[in-house]
């Protein structure tokens, strides 16, 4: 069965029936706007991401349920980076006319399952035919108590620099896929099905542990650069303590230049944050759902720029810059 057989309203109705309710959502899919109540004292957060076929994903590389989950996770990751909780998701879909209803159902179920996992509800969206590739646009709304908001702008010299999880896995998987090879399953999962660190971000915000935070989507050094720009500080990064997965280390042993993927690869969706040194023990003790946090450097005055050093503290040559979709 093709999408043309059930039509735009038919597809929306299929999604509407499966969308969850939530106490904050007075009206979801089915009126001109979704209508929500933001709790008193909470700030509203919102972020938009695009996922475009053959730019961000290829349909043969992962199933549609996984793609639906990823579409939500990459967007919710932005809420995590501000310490927020998730409220509503809005989904825009430009769908090639020959797409099967089965694929769309799988995609929608992936979106809905991920929403449920993050405590969000699918509250609205728009669908129409695409004369080109599959276009996915996701906008998420969340909220955070005013005193708990963590921006990119609060890092101070002397703060320690931390990152969650491991780096480079997604970029390494992508490299294998682009080369026509099948990446190891754990790496592939990190690329196709990343997990937004929403719980970790909330804990950091609630406990007041993070002075600045960002999610690593453009690559560690590029996203660190955003914190440094916003906070008007510099940083030292210890190359040899970057957290790497066993699968990544195995590949690295054969090809040392792969370390650049951990520094610049993109799509890690880990949290990169700064924290005062007196809170180091509290941060190190955090391992939400088995995700480690690792100290990878510290914050310096702005005139130091970014200093990448090896285990002996000697400067390392910086790798090629971060990721820009237009290059």
Candidate residues 1, 26, 147, 250; the one interacting with its own copies per rule CB under 8 A: 26
Candidates 164, 284, 143; CA nearest to 216 is 164
Q: Which of residues 95-114 bind its own copies (CB under 8 A)?
A: 97
CA dihedral 34, 122, 30, 40 (to 10 degrees): -30
Residue 2 has what DSSP assignment? Answer: B
Q: 3-state DSSP call for residue 210?
A: coil
Mask 44-63, x = binds its own copies (CB under 8 A)?
A: xxxxxxx-xxxxx-------
> Considering the rule CB under 8 A, would residue 115 count as an interface residue with its own copies?
no
We find the least distance from the C-beta atom of residue 195 to its own copies, in angstroms, to be 16
Contact flags string 152-191 toward its own copies, x per CB under 8 A: xx--------------------------------------
DSSP string for 257-277: GGHHHHHH------EEEEE-G
| Alpha carbons 307 and 71: distance in angstroms, whole number | 34
Distance of alpha carbon 150 from alpha carbon 208, whole angstroms: 9
* Total length of the chain: 327
Stretch that binds its own copies, among 106-114, 128-136, 157-165, 175-183 (CB under 8 A): 128-136
Q: Segment 258-297, which members bind its own copies (CB under 8 A)?
A: none
Binding flag, residue 147, its own copies (CB under 8 A): no
How far apart CA 120 and CA 209 sit, in angstroms, is 25
Mark residues 196-235: x for contact with its own copies by CB under 8 A, - for none. Answer: -----------------xxx--------------x-----
User: Residue 47, SS3?
Assistant: strand
67 binds its own copies (CB under 8 A): no
> Of these, 68, 110, 142, 265, which contacts its own copies (CB under 8 A)?
142
Please tell me what DSSP assigns to residue 140. Answer: E
Q: Which of 137, 245, 275, 294 binds its own copies (CB under 8 A)?
A: 137
3-state class (DSSP) for residue 316: coil
Q: Which residues are annotated as a binding site for Mg(2+)?
A: 32, 47-49, 78, 126, 215, 218
């Amino acid at each position: 069965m093709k999408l043309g057989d059930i039509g735009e309203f038919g597809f929306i109705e299929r999604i509407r029936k499966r969308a969850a309710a939530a106490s904050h959502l007075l009206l979801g899919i089915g009126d001109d706007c979704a209508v929500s109540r933001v709790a008193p004292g909470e700030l509203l957060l919102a972020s938009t991401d695009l996922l475009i076929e053959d730019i961000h994903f290829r349909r043969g590389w992962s199933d549609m349920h996984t793609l639906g989950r990823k579409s939500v996770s990459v967007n919710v990751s932005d809420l995590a980076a501000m310490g927020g909780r998730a409220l509503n998701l809005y989904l825009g879909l430009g769908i090639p006319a020959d797409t099967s209803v089965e694929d769309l159902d799988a995609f929608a179920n992936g979106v809905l399952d991920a929403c449920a996992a993050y405590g969000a509800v699918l509250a609205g969206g728009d669908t129409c035919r695409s004369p080109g590739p599959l276009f996915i646009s996701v906008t998420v709304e969340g909220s955070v108590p005013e005193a708990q908001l963590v921006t990119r702008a609060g890092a101070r010299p002397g703060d320690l620099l931390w990152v969650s999880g491991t780096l480079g896995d997604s970029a390494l998987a992508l490299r294998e896929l682009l080369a026509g090879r099948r990446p190891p399953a754990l790496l592939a999962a990190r690329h196709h099905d990343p997990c937004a660190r929403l719980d970790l971000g909330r804990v950091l915000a609630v406990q007041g542990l993070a002075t600045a935070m960002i999610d690593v989507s453009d690559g560690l050094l590029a996203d660190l650069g955003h914190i440094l720009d916003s906070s008007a500080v510099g940083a030292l990064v210890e190359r040899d303590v970057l957290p790497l997965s066993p699968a990544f280390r195995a590949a690295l042993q054969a090809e040392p230049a792969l370390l650049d993927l951990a520094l610049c690869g993109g799509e890690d969706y880990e949290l990169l944050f700064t924290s005062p040194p007196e809170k180091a023990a509290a941060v190190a003790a955090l391992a939400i759902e088995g995700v480690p946090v690792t100290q990878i450097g510290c914050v310096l005055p702005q005139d130091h720029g970014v200093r990448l050093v090896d285990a002996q503290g000697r400067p390392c040559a910086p790798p090629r810059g971060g990721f820009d979709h237009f290059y």
